[in-house]
Amino acid sequence: MAALSQMAYAQARTQARYAQLPDTSVWHGLESAAHYPAYLEAARALPLRPLVATLNRSGDVHEVERVLRQHLRAAVIEVAGWMPADWRPMVCWVLRLPELPTLRFLLSGEPIPAWMYQDAASRRYLHEDTAERRRAMAEHRAAPLYTGVGGC
């Protein structure tokens, strides 16, 4: 019964957090921003402020994505903490989702773009040698996601 009450607690917390997000009219208002700096300033006056507060006005897409991935990871860890202990490892698998496009790219053997070095979650895979990249990926706990082992 304790797990059931903890799951109810997690659901209530998640729904309360979701209810803080802007509604459709706010999103439509943001769409009218002509440039990134105007969009950023408008978003900082909304409940989106925690997500955009650390972004700079340069509009560097790699920085924006890196910061948003960090926020997603923090949110997943927070939600996992609300869950019953048996559920936490399953919820934590969601932490790997933002890494999948990077991992797919790295498996291609293409040269590593400079922006990838800025994301701490990707650094462990950033080897110029493709074989070394694959070894690093195979040794990581999320290896089933990109080695094809244990998939659906």
pLDDT of residue 83: 92
Judgement on whether residues 70 and 8 belong to the same structural domain of the protein: no
- In this structure, the number of other CB atoms found within 10 A of the CB of residue 102 comes to 17
Tell me: do 21 and 78 sit in the same domain. Answer: no
pLDDT, tens only, 70-128: 999 999 999 999 999 999 988 988 888 888 888 888 888 888 888 888 888 788 888 88
3-56 confidence digits (pLDDT tens): 888 888 889 998 988 888 888 888 888 898 889 999 999 999 888 888 899 998
- 52: containing domain: 1-58
Mark whether 71 and 142 lie in a shared domain. yes
pTM of the entire predicted model: 0.78
Which of 58, 84, 103 lies at the terminal end of a domain, its last residue?
58
Residues 70 and 144 occupy one common structural domain = yes
- Domain tally, the chain: 2
CA atoms of 113 and 91, how far apart (whole Å): 30
Q: What is the pLDDT of residue 150?
A: 41
CA-derived radius of gyration, the chain: 19
Amino acid identity, position 52: V
- From CA 116, how far away is CA 74, in angstroms rounded? 19
Question: Comparing C-alpha atoms, which of 64, 72, 28, 67 is closest to residue 46?
Answer: 28
Same domain, 74 and 136: yes
Same domain, 104 and 41: no
Residue 152 pLDDT greater than 50, yes or no: no
Is residue 128 located within the same domain as residue 83? yes
Instruction: Identify the domain boundary among 58, 76, 102.
Output: 58
Say whether both 73 and 127 belong to one domain: yes
On whether both 70 and 143 belong to a single domain, the answer is yes
In this structure, are 72 and 47 located in the same domain? no
- At residue 149, does pLDDT exceed 60? no
- pLDDT given at position 130: 83
